[in-house]
C-alpha cells in the first residue's frame, strides 16, 4: 500500500522568493516518486521524477526535488518563484516493479505567487 | 512527443444517459492506460488500469458495470459512464504509459469535465 501526504493545501510566496512544497510518502516497496503541475482546466504535466540513482533530481522550469529515504520525503524546491509558477502541484508515488503502475497522488498544494 | 489527447473536454448530459470519453496516445504506443477521477479541489484517484487487448483492472470501490473501459488498440482507450447520475459529475483524466518504457512515466490527457443534470 502506498500513500502521499502533502503538507499545506495552499502555499503563498513572493515573486523571487524560494518555493518549498513538502511531500512525504509511505510505500512498502522501493518507490518511484513524481511531481506534477496542473494549470486550471488542464491535465497534468510532469515536472520531475525519481526512479533510481542520484537522489537530487532536476526538472523543468527550474524545479528540483531531493529523495530522502530516511525521512520518506520528496520535497519540491525552486530558488526563485515566478508568477507563471502559480498552479496546483501534485506529488505522486508508484511501485518500482518495472511495469506500468497507477499513481497514488497527494491532495495537492496550490501555489500562490504574490507580486 | 508523447502527447495524449482526451475527448471531449467538457460534456453535459441528462441523468440516465451514457457518456463515452476517448483517450488517445497520438505519437506513441501505450500498452497501458490509466483512468483517474478528480473531485473539485481534491486529488486524483485511480479508477482503473487498462491494458491493450485485455480486461481492465478496477480499483476497489469502482463499479466496473458503471464505468466501462475498452482498450482496443495501442493508441486508444475509452471510458463509458453508463446511466450517469449527478454524483458521477467529476473531472476524468486519462494517462498513458510508454510501451516498454522505464520509470513508470505517464503522460496525461487534458481531462474531461462531466456534468450530469
Q: Express each pLDDT in B16-25 by its tens digit.
A: 999 999 999 9
Place of cell 464505468: B67
Cβ within 8 Å, pair A100-B102: no
Cβ within 8 Å, pair A41-B113: yes
Q: In sequence order, what DSSP letters do the residues of A82-106 get, joined into one string?
A: -GGG-EEEEEEEEE-SSS--PPEE-
The three cell numbers locating residue B100: 516498454
Q: Express each pLDDT in A84-102 by its tens digit.
A: 999 999 999 987 765 578 8
Interface of A with B (CB under 8 A): 32, 36, 41-46, 49, 51, 90, 94-96, 98-108
Per-residue confidence (pLDDT) for residue A98, from 0 to 100 = 54
Sign of CA dihedral A43, B4, B73, A2: negative
Residues facing residue B58 across a β-bridge: B48
By residue count, chain A amounts to 115
Of B99, B116, B109, B115, which Cα lies nearest the Cα of B36? B109
**A61 CA: distance to closest CA in chain B (Å):** 18
Per-residue confidence (pLDDT) for residue A94, from 0 to 100 = 87
The CA–CA distances, whole Å, from B56 to B4, B24, B40, B66 equal: 19, 16, 26, 13
Peptide bond into B95 cis (omega under 30): no
Place of cell 527550474: A62
Per-residue confidence (pLDDT) for residue B53, from 0 to 100 = 81
The three cell numbers locating residue A53: 540513482
| 3-state helix/strand/coil string of chain B | CCCEEEECCEEEECCCCCEEEEEEECCCCCCEEEEEEECCCCCEEEEEEEECCCCCEECCCCCCCCEEEEEEECCEEEEEECCCCHHHCEEEEEEEECCCCCCCCEEECCCEEEEEC
**B39 CA: distance to closest CA in chain A (Å):** 11
Per-residue confidence (pLDDT) for residue B72, from 0 to 100 = 82
Q: Express each pLDDT in B30-88 by its tens digit.
A: 888 999 999 877 889 999 999 888 889 999 999 999 999 998 888 999 999 999 999 99
- CB-CB neighbours of A83 under 10 Å: 9
Q: Which of B43, B95, B104 sits opposite A32 (nearest CB)?
A: B104
**A40 CA: distance to closest CA in chain B (Å):** 10
**Cβ pair A79, A64 in contact under 8 A:** no
Q: Which of A43, A51, A107 sits opposite B43 (nearest CB)?
A: A107
Per-residue confidence (pLDDT) for residue A43, from 0 to 100 = 81
Per-residue confidence (pLDDT) for residue B102, from 0 to 100 = 61
Amino acid at each position: 500500500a502506498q500513500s502521499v501526504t502533502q503538507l499545506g493545501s495552499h502555499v503563498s510566496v513572493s515573486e523571487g522568493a524560494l518555493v518549498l512544497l513538502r511531500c512525504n510518502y509511505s510505500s512498502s516497496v522501493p518507490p518511484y516518486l513524481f511531481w506534477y503541475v496542473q494549470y486550471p482546466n488542464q491535465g497534468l504535466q510532469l515536472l520531475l521524477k525519481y526512479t533510481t540513482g542520484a537522489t537530487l533530481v532536476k526538472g523543468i522550469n527550474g524545479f528540483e526535488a531531493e529523495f530522502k529515504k530516511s525521512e520518506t520525503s520528496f520535497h519540491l524546491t525552486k530558488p526563485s518563484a515566478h508568477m507563471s509558477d502559480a498552479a496546483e502541484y501534485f506529488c505522486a508515488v508508484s511501485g518500482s516493479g518495472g511495469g506500468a503502475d497507477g499513481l497514488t497522488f497527494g491532495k495537492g498544494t496550490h501555489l500562490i505567487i504574490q507580486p | 512527443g508523447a502527447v495524449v489527447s482526451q475527448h471531449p473536454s467538457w460534456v453535459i448530459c441528462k441523468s440516465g444517459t451514457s457518456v463515452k470519453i476517448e483517450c488517445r496516445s497520438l505519437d506513441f504506443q501505450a500498452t497501458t492506460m490509466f483512468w483517474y477521477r478528480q473531485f473539485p479541489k481534491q486529488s486524483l484517484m485511480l479508477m482503473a488500469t487498462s491494458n491493450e487487448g485485455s480486461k481492465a483492472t478496477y480499483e476497489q470501490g469502482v463499479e466496473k458495470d458503471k464505468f466501462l473501459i475498452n482498450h482496443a488498440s495501442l493508441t486508444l482507450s475509452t471510458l463509458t459512464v453508463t446511466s450517469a447520475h449527478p454524483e458521477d459529475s467529476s473531472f476524468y483524466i486519462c494517462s498513458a504509459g510508454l510501451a516498454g518504457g522505464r520509470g513508470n512515466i505517464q503522460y496525461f490527457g487534458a481531462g474531461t469535465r462531466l456534468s450530469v443534470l
